[in-house]
Structure 1
Amino acid sequence: MFEPLNEQMKQAMGPMQEMVKIQTALLESLTRQQMECTQQCVEATLAQTKELTQCAKPEDLYKLQQAYAKELEGSLKLAGERNMAALNDAREALFALTKKSTAK
């Protein structure tokens, strides 16, 4: 008696479970990428702090600051691109899942 109802419930919840898997994978990917970006920024800051002590002229400091800003900009740009790629992948997967679920 309960077996058909149980099977029907599993089929009905299947798309929802798949959606949760997609969202979980997205959040894991975004978290990993943000941790990498943060680590790169901290490493760049530490390296810049060490190099500050070696600056003898204002021009050296200026060049150091420019290099530091470019390094941070590159790290943030890369993180943004990776985040957008992960979001687009998840959007496409959710769209395909929705299309498949509504086609039944």
Structure 2
Amino acid sequence: GIGLFVRDPADRLPTVTAINIPDGVDGAKVSSRLLHEFSIEISGGLGELKGKIWRVGLMGYSSQRGNVLLFLGALEKILLDQGMKLPAGAGIAAAASTFVGAAPVATGQGR
């Protein structure tokens, strides 16, 4: 399955999330499709983690709720296209549940 590389939440950075690339998934193809079909750019792992993780930036514009949901939906579609078995909408539902009751994110509007 798919999961976070850093398991302990206390060890995670708020600015980037490292996601394990699931077995049988071509990580480079996923990154390429995200960029070319959805205009979403993510990075791969470096050194010994090359080809094993994706690094997803969560700063500024990328951290806005709508963009997080767009990324999760696009990633789900691409993984399903590669034959991965996923519960439909699970990523979006999980993210949306964390937004309930959370403080609004500044959008930079009105400057």
TM-score (normalised: structure 2): 0.30
Structure with larger RCO (C-alpha < 8 A, sep 6+): 1
- Bigger fraction of residues in helix: 1
Query: Higher strand proportion, which one?
Result: 2
Larger radius of gyration: 1
TM (normalized to structure 1)?
0.32
